[in-house]
Amino acid sequence: MAMYAYIAGTTNDDINDKGSIACQIDFLKQTNVDYDAYYVDTFTGVSRARFQLQKLLMIVKPGDMIDVMDVSNLTSNTRELCCLLNEIEDLQITIFSDEIELDMNDNSEPYHIAMMLCRAGRLIMKQQEFNRKRMCHLKRQIDLRRNKENKRDITRNDYQIYKLLMSSNYKTAQRKTGLSRSTLYRLKKRIQKRK
């Protein structure tokens, strides 16, 4: 039986940061286990590729053990977790951490974890879809209200002002109505569009 260590994280050298490679190496060295090999995946930017994990899964034999500080380092999402659980079953290996032990001796535990994560993932996707639809609806409502405010209905009073404007000039209409020249001009154009 071979014992491997798998580490995945950022290149941050802070030992107190659990997401850093330095912290995970320090944790695994404190276990006082002689590992056959260390496999390290370094996350850079948004890339979360786990090439070293794939290389490790290609060389393990039935009965081997992979030790990790945190099981969440093995996968980024529920789809990857489900694939990993299938590989564990096919390879007949054990993945061990302080939190949980994933192996196929207890057939129910890994699948319960995967099902819970899948349900949680589905709920998150449904919530995001609901939020997206809600935002679209609210934007549409805001646009409709803005359009209503911009498209003011022409009232009887507007026609009277228009008649006054057509029978006199802007200065006279401004004095009699108290409206600005630009407002009178917009009113005139709006009524002429309707005709």
| Cα–Cα distance, 35 to 192 (Å, whole number) | 87
Q: What angle do CA 30, 31, 33 make, to 5 degrees?
A: 120
Residues 6+ away with beta carbon under 8 Å from 88: 94, 95, 102, 103, 104, 110
Q: Are the C-beta atoms of residues 40 and 69 closer than 8 Å to each other?
A: no
Structure tokens at 52: 């070293």
CB-CB contact of 114 with 83 (8 Å): no
Residue 70: the pLDDT is 75
The Cα 118–Cα 124 span in angstroms is 10
CA-nearest of 68, 70, 95, 97 to 84 is: 95
Inter-residue contact 102 to 75 (CB < 8 Å):
no
Q: 43 or 62: whose pLDDT is higher?
A: 62
pLDDT at 149 over 70: no
Distances (CA, A) of 95 to 35, 80, 124, 192: 14, 15, 27, 79
Handedness of CA 69, 72, 75, 80 (dihedral sign): positive
pLDDT band at residue 123 under the 50/70/90 scheme: low
- pLDDT for the residue 9: 82
Mean pLDDT on 64-75: 80
In terms of Cβ atoms closer than 10 Å to its own Cβ (0-12, 13-18, 19+), residue 192 is exposed
What pLDDT is recorded for position 116? 55
